[in-house]
């Protein structure tokens, strides 16, 4: 379905220029020329985004009508993204618009590329937000006794759920691949939980953590006297997991020498405790996980190809959180409930700006980072809701700052910095762009300690 954008400005030439630009990009643009027209259109139609000017003829300078419209649109549909157009340099207008729920702003005259990027981002985030609200009503969470919840409502996670369902019950060795904090261990626990081994133990071991000698002892066990420190017999992970599942985490860090030993056990299903000649049969299903690219490690000669083939009968790639933004609201609410309970705090949820900040953040630390951010915000929150500044996520993906979270003073400083950047430090030009006199800008530079 085409993306529908409502374009509102009382200058017909502006609307027409935007309409042509959007059409060329495959968007469907519907024009409106007054706040009342915008409201009616949104009431009656289905839009992915509203792009609106702040100033209308009745009252061209204060933007009052535009602000009122923003408030009313927000009441009508809080999930509808609104991007405002402001006159070049009208700092206060942009800030006030964001406070009233605009998701972003564009300065006139606009730059086509930047405008399109902004619109695309906001359409995507708006869709994610809407979808997640629908999904929240359905129950797409996997819930099991003693297994961590796996929240996966996004399209990107469908294949993961699919493999858990289809391959989980089998004895196939599964390699789970994904960045840090994407939920590899959660998936491993679910694979075990849905298998016929569910009643037997799942033994998890950080296979990459052991140095010379210790590896074999940890995995295969040892007998008393096998080496100096071996004061008693020790059962290894393979034996502990007998009849169940062994989860080998950080598999890429297993040293080459150890890889050979591991391969042999996987091929034969037989282990020998260090220092013993007795051969023991074990019935173990092996799940493994890594955040490294094992294919590349193989071509660099750091990982044995035959071992990789043993481990990855089936491979599950876990997408990074930034590729499944629809899951963010569900995960955030889930972590909020859990933390609020743990810390005995009553919280209603997230403010719109806070949710927006969560949706925009790039989450390099994936689900774990989100979990920590929410947990911290639960402790920090002063009111009954989590506000954007409680989250402490000030930067977006491109490194720019989230305007919603700034105080007016911080916003002013930011816009001055930007103007100076654009004018390459030329104060007169920056002042002109900001609609200030040179001396007024100098005063502000001093106040903000910007070396004026
Ligand atoms: N889909 C999810 N639903 C709910 N909680 C999740 C989900 N994915 C991850 N988590 C939670 O996020 C945290 C990190 O997940 P997990 O430890 O499984 O990640 P990982 O991929 O093993 O990370 P690492 O590479 O750092 O070991 C855990 O607390 C886990 O419960
Ligand atoms: Mg892990």
Q: Which residue in this structure is represented by tokens 């024009």?
A: 31
Measured on CA atoms in the order 118, 120, 124, 127, is the torsion positive or negative? positive
Chain centre distance of CA 58? 43
pLDDT for residue 63 = 65
Report the distance separating Cα 133 and Cα 329, nearest Å: 8
Residue 148 CA: which ligand is closest?
1
Rounded to two decimals, what is the model's pTM? 0.66
User: Are 176 and 316 spatial neighbours (Cβ–Cβ below 8 Å)?
Assistant: yes
The percent of residues above 70 in pLDDT, for the chain, comes to: 91
pLDDT, tens only, 428-438: 888 988 888 88
* Whether the predicted pLDDT of 141 surpasses 70: no
- Name the residue with the closest Cα to ligand 1, atom 29: 368
pLDDT, tens only, 86-103: 877 677 788 788 778 888
User: Are 259 and 308 spatial neighbours (Cβ–Cβ below 8 Å)?
Assistant: no
pLDDT, tens only, 280-337: 999 999 999 999 999 999 999 999 999 999 999 999 999 999 999 999 999 999 999 9
Report the distance separating Cα 268 and Cα 272, nearest Å: 11
Residue 332 CA: which ligand is closest?
1
Chain centre distance of CA 252? 25
pLDDT for residue 144 = 54
Report the distance separating Cα 16 and Cα 409, nearest Å: 36
Lowest-confidence segment of 18-27, 206-215, 281-290, 366-375 by average pLDDT: 206-215
User: Are 430 and 420 spatial neighbours (Cβ–Cβ below 8 Å)?
Assistant: yes
CA distances from 413 to 84, 347, 401, 420 (A): 21, 33, 12, 11
- Name the residue with the closest Cα to ligand 1, atom 12: 368
The closest-lying atom of ligand 1 relative to the alpha carbon of residue 179 is 25
Distance 366 CA to ligand 1 centre (A): 8
> Quick one: which of 240, 222, 242 has its CA closest to 232?
222
Distance 319 CA to ligand 2 centre (A): 14
CB of 368 closer than 6 A to ligand 1? yes
CB of 157 closer than 6 A to ligand 1? no
Mean pLDDT score across all residues of the chain: 87
The pair phi, psi for residue 253, each rounded to 5°, is -85, 0
Output the CA torsion 147→151→156→159 (10° steps): 30
Measured on CA atoms in the order 65, 68, 72, 74, is the torsion positive or negative? positive
* Whether the predicted pLDDT of 76 surpasses 60: yes
pLDDT tier for residue 152 given thresholds of 50, 70 and 90? very high
Pairing label, strands 314-317, 349-350: unpaired
pLDDT for residue 140 = 42
* Whether the predicted pLDDT of 397 surpasses 50: no
Q: Taking CA 98 as the corner, what is the angle to CA 320 and CA 8, rounded to the nearest 5 degrees?
A: 100
Distance 187 CA to ligand 1 centre (A): 8
For the chain, the C-alpha Rg in angstroms (whole number) is 29
pLDDT, tens only, 97-120: 877 888 888 888 899 998 998 899
Residue 339 CA: which ligand is closest?
1
SS3 state at 76 = helix
């Amino acid at each position: 379905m085409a993306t529908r954008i409502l374009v509102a400005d009382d200058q017909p030439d502006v609307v027409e220029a935007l309409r042509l630009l959007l059409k060329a990009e495959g968007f469907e643009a519907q024009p409106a020329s007054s706040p009342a027209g915008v409201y009616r259109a949104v009431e009656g139609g289905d839009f992915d985004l509203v792009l609106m000017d702040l100033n209308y003829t009745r009252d061209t300078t204060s933007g009052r009508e535009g602000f009122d419209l923003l408030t009313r649109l927000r009441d009508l549909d809080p999930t509808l993204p609104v991007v405002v157009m402001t006159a070049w340099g009208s700092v206060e207008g942009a800030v006030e618009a964001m406070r009233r729920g605009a998701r972003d702003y564009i300065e006139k005259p606009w730059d086509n590329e930047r405008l399109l990027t902004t619109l695309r981002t906001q359409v995507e985030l708006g869709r994610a937000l809407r979808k997640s609200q629908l999904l929240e009503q359905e129950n797409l969470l996997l819930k099991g006794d003693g297994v961590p919840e796996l929240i996966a409502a996004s399209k990107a996670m469908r294949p993961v759920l699919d493999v858990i369902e289809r391959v989980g019950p089998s004895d196939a060795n599964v390699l789970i691949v994904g960045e840090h904090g994407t939920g590899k261990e959660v998936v491993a626990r679910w694979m075990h939980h849905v298998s016929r081994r569910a009643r037997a133990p799942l033994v998890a071991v950080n296979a990459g953590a052991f140095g010379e000698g210790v590896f074999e002892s940890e995995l295969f066990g040892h007998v008393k006297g096998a080496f100096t420190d071996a004061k008693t017999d020790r059962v290894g992970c393979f034996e502990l997991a007998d009849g169940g599942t062994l989860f080998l985490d950080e598999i890429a860090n297993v040293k080459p020498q150890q890889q050979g030993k591991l391969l042999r056990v996987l091929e034969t299903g037989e282990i020998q405790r260090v220092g013993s000649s007795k051969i023991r049969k074990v019935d173990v299903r092996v799940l493994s996980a890594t955040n490294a690219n094992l294919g590349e490690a193989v071509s660099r000669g750091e990982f044995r190809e035959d071992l990789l083939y043993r481990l990855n009968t089936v491979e599950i790639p876990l997408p990074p959180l930034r590729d499944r933004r629809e899951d963010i609201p569900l995960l955030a609410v889930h972590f909020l409930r859990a933390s609020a309970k743990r810390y005995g705090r009553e919280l209603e949820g997230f403010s719109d700006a806070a949710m927006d900040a969560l949706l925009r953040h790039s989450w390099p630390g994936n689900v774990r980072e989100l979990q920590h951010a929410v947990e911290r915000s639960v402790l920090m929150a002063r009111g009954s809701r989590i506000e954007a500044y409680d989250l402490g996520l000030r930067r977006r993906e491109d490194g720019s700052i989230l305007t919603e979270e700034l105080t007016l003073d911080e916003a002013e400083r930011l816009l001055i910095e930007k103007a100076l950047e654009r004018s390459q430090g030329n104060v007169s030009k920056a002042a002109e762009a900001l609609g200030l006199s040179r001396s007024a800008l100098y005063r502000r530079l001093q106040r903000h300690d910007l070396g004026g």
